[in-house]
Structure 1
Amino acid sequence: MRETPLPTTGAHAPLFAVLGAHGGAGASTLARWWAPAADTGLAWPASPRTTQRVIVAARLCMPGLTAAADRLREWHAGLAPDGVQVIGLVLTAARPGQVPMVVRRYRSVVAQLVEHVYQIAWHDELLSCELTDLAQYVPFGPQPPRRSRLTEAVPADVHHAGTQIITHLAATRSGAATQPDSERTP
């Protein structure tokens, strides 16, 4: 568990945290790409002073999916800190090319543990980029150009997933705002 508040690295406090289900899940890269996110590493965000909305990140491979399933089951069992709300799972390609059938099958099993699943493709250019040099997705920003360097614009799949996450967060907030206090879930 991460007891300290998540860092504010941009103009605003983070809207959600990216939790790595395992080492190498891509949480730092995703949190850098999505401006409204914070990297919580491998630890659940336990501080109520910053967001406790979490996107679990994992590689799209059997070890990654197993780790993601374990983290999601922890949350379902009430073993995550009070206030943590898992809002999705992001699966990043473990390599270029087609995903093996056994991995695709297990992905569908793990996907049942969470409401939203986002896919991020393999991006070769990441192998030669520093995190601090990556472009960032800003909510409601324009679609990225088709072919641009990762230092100039986020990839289309990262932009699409970021837009979906922000849209789901907005819908959740507006739905909570219209419910009477007695019906709201913490």
Structure 2
Amino acid sequence: MHANVIHLHRPVSTEPGRFEPDTVTAPTPDRQAPVRSTPLPTTGPYPPLFAVQGAHGGAGATTLAHWWAPAADTGLAWPASPQTTQRVVVAARDCLPGLTAAADRLREWHAGLAPSGVTVLGLVLTPVRPGRVPAAVRRYRRIVADLVDEAIWSIHWHEELLVCDLAQLAQFTPNDPPPSRRADLSSAVPIDVHQAGTAITARIAATRPKTDPDVSGDLQ
């Protein structure tokens, strides 16, 4: 069922980490994402550095965008407005349906069907339940990883989320020290959320044009 994810080679692209459009099998129109034409909301003191896009409903994009202070929640839609960031982190559940939806979003971007200006930074995966991920899911995850140049960040199962209101969650900002592993969710983000946020902002800093403002300086 997953035989047409991509051609198994990475050609030279004009954009780092991106395939040439004609080497990718694009998702059918009914499986493509909607487009958000309005600017992303600015809920903090600075405009968002990146958007979290759910590959499917229930992907955890809203929680992730709240956890990461530099992020904005773009729902299921591609952010098309150049007035706010068009850097995207795709979010999906770590299961076969979630990974299939994530592959659709990534192939859509590689095929040139996302709005002009969109750049995909990577994929963040959240669990559907506690415990070990099945082998079939792990195998397919390795295939999908090639679509994001191995930039995949996995978030663990956090039982406390079941009884914690979104507004109570602590937030990550760049240059925060690593949190205590015993901290509750209202006083610090989990360490895996901190590590993913650090990796994402480092990826932005490493790939941004030299005319961009300093990433860490934006959030001092």
Measured in 2, the distance between the counterparts of 1:147 and 1:25 equals 26
Shift of 1:13: 0.2
The letter for the 1-side match of 2:65 is A
Q: Deviations along 1:14-69, whole A, 9 cap, x unmatched?
A: 00000000000000000000000000000000000000000000000011000000
Is 1:78 aligned to residue 112 of structure 2? yes
Is 1:145 aligned to residue 180 of structure 2? yes
193, 206, 210: which one aligns with 1:177? 210
Specify the alignment match of 1:43 in structure 2.
Answer: 77
Structure 1 runs not aligned, ≥5 long: 179-186
Specify the alignment match of 1:114 in structure 2.
Answer: 148
Specify the alignment match of 2:21 in structure 1.
Answer: none
Measured in 1, the distance between the counterparts of 2:145 and 2:162 equals 28
Specify the alignment match of 1:155 in structure 2.
Answer: 190
The letter for the 2-side match of 1:134 is L
The letter for the 1-side match of 2:210 is A
Specify the alignment match of 2:124 in structure 1.
Answer: 90
Measured in 1, the distance between the counterparts of 2:207 and 2:107 equals 22
Structure 2 runs not aligned, ≥5 long: 1-34, 212-220
Measured in 2, the distance between the counterparts of 1:91 and 1:81 equals 23
Is 1:22 aligned to residue 56 of structure 2? yes
Shift of 1:134: 0.5
The aligned length equals 176
- Identity of aligned pairs, percent? 70
Measured in 2, the distance between the counterparts of 1:74 and 1:169 equals 21
Specify the alignment match of 1:183 in structure 2.
Answer: none
Measured in 1, the distance between the counterparts of 2:181 and 2:118 equals 36
Measured in 1, the distance between the counterparts of 2:108 and 2:207 equals 23
Specify the alignment match of 1:53 in structure 2.
Answer: 87
Measured in 2, the distance between the counterparts of 1:130 and 1:41 equals 19
Measured in 2, the distance between the counterparts of 1:41 and 1:131 equals 16
Q: Deviations along 1:153-176, whole A, 9 cap, x unmatched?
A: 000000000001111111112xx3
136, 152, 161: which one aligns with 2:171? 136
